[in-house]
Amino acid sequence: MSQPGGPLSQLRRGHEELVLGLLRKHGPLSRGELGRRCGLSRTTLYDILAELVAGGAVVTASERETPRGRGRPAETLTLNPDAGQAIGIDFARRGLHVAAINLAHEIVGSASEPHDADLPWEQRVELAGRLVGSLTGGTLSLGALSAIGVGVVGPVGDPVGDPVGDPVGDPVGDPAVDPAVDPDRGPEEDGAGEPAGPHPAQVLLRERFGVPVLLDNNTRLAALGEAIWGAAAGVQDVLYLRLSHGVGGGLVVGGSLHRGAYGLSGEFGHITVDQDGARCDCGGTGCLETIASIRAVLDAYRAAGGRAGDVPELAKAARAGDAAALAVLDGAGAGIGGVLAALCNAIGPSVIVVGGELAETGSSLMDPIERELRAHVMPISRHRVSLRRATLGEVAGALGGIALVLHESPLLSRYPAGPELAEDPPTTQSGRRPAKENP
């Protein structure tokens, strides 16, 4: 057999995509018609078709009537209209977000539910199941579910945690997260070294849904979501910064999520902005997070004599012209803009997306960010990079989970029409969005 990722394996996947693309474009085709169009030998084509039929992506006319009723005697093959559905789940720190797409890659709905930060994984997955059920009432057949893409808090290595093939039974395969790192605590010193097992969300979701479960950091997934469906839809090189209880982000490079060598990219919140600054939870000093997280900004506002219990109150004060609120947001924005300028010079994105609850403070924060970005980015880039606020709200991570399935799973070949994704903005079934992002 060929090695995964080797030229023969890639070639085979290319063959699968070609066959699926032809069925998608032309509708039902006989084996002979497929053979003439794809240029593959009879042996190769029949092998590929057998695998696609066994995997449920393609059905023969004897299993399902051909829609056009051409009345040919030869058996025809067609895409399975019940396959190709996917769900994205964002297990954020204090809440759960789910989104689902149908065969046409249309987002059929999304839903969110807050919960305590210490809710056990069993109950989180139970809650996820209920939310998915609420989405799939009339529009999705759970039996046709192909894969689930999941976002979690904290560092994640290889996103594909689950081999394809027999969708039920086997224990989850590849490790995808370092168990020494508590996924609810974010980055911290790890003494344990290498990853040693699957994430609990993967194990429990696979038990419940019986399908492959792909996993990545939820902030990185939000970056991917914004680059496909959101503020940077269709843009190939995107830098996404999330200003929330923590400060983090993600990079989309050439249209793909960038992870870095150890799954540790996008940790913009732990870039030093003040060597003499405050101690950070990561163990560092003067990290961006110490001046630009929700807590940091609210603390600074209170220290300046302001009164605000949360971000909406701070935003309200800023809109009302409260000098202390404006000064605090200006200071945070300046620090953020300086970091973004440095990253721009290094990485060269065309769009920077700023999301998270703090971005809801609007121009009081975005204007100083933009000012410092333009002041410190190389002059040649100054008028090229675009700064935008995130648009997907709190479901960005769940949508990114779906994108993970579409882009990166071995099931990719079941979804040959990725680029169409950007055309359909998400609809909301639960009515909870737009609201805060990934709380």
Closest to a second copy by CB, 34 or 308: 34
Q: Tokens standing for 334?
A: 């300046």
Question: How many residues would you count in the chain?
Answer: 439
| 380 interacts with a second copy by CB under 8 A | yes
Report the nearest approach of a second copy to the CB of residue 85 (Å): 23
CA distance 338 to 333: 8
Interface residue with a second copy, options 4, 26, 41, 163 (CB under 8 A)? 41
Based on CB atoms, which residue is closest to a second copy, 122 or 190? 190
Which of 350/363 has CB closer to a second copy? 350
Per CB under 8 A, does 260 bind a second copy? yes
d(CA 106, CA 312): 32
Shortest Cβ 178–a second copy spacing (Å): 9
Question: Is residue 368 at the binding interface for a second copy, with CB under 8 A as the rule?
Answer: no
Q: What is residue 240's three-state secondary structure?
A: strand
Nearer to a second copy, 44 or 428 (CB): 44
205 binds a second copy (CB under 8 A): no
Task: Return the residue of 4, 39, 165, 434 that touches a second copy, per CB under 8 A.
Answer: 39
Cα 376–381–387 angle (5° rounding)?
Answer: 75
If we measure between CA atoms, which residue out of 306, 373, 379, 298 comes closest to residue 334? 373
Residue with the two structure tokens 């069993």: 122
Write out the binding residues for a second copy, residues 174-203 only, by CB under 8 A: 181, 187-190
Q: What three-state secondary structure class fits 401?
A: helix
For residue 42, state whether it binds a second copy (rule: CB under 8 A): yes
Which pairing describes strands 107-114 and 95-101: parallel, antiparallel, or unpaired? antiparallel
347 binds a second copy (CB under 8 A): yes
Q: How far apart are CA 278 and CA 273, in angstroms?
A: 10
Nearest Cα to 248, choosing from 287, 284, 295? 287
Instruction: Output the smallest distance, CB 417 to a second copy, in A.
Output: 11
Give the residue, chosen from 112, 265, 361, 364, that forms a contact with a second copy under the rule CB under 8 A. 265
Tokens of 171: 């224990």
Beta-carbon contacts of 7 under 8 Å, excluding residues fewer than 6 positions away, are none
CB of 393 to a second copy, least distance (A): 24
Contact 437, 244 (CB under 8 A): yes
What's the min distance (Å) between Cβ of 151 and a second copy?
A: 18
Q: State the residues that interact with a second copy by CB under 8 A.
A: 7-8, 10-11, 14-15, 17-18, 21, 35, 39-44, 155, 181, 187-190, 235-237, 249, 251, 253-254, 258-268, 270-272, 275, 282-284, 338-339, 341-343, 345-351, 376, 378-382, 384-385, 416
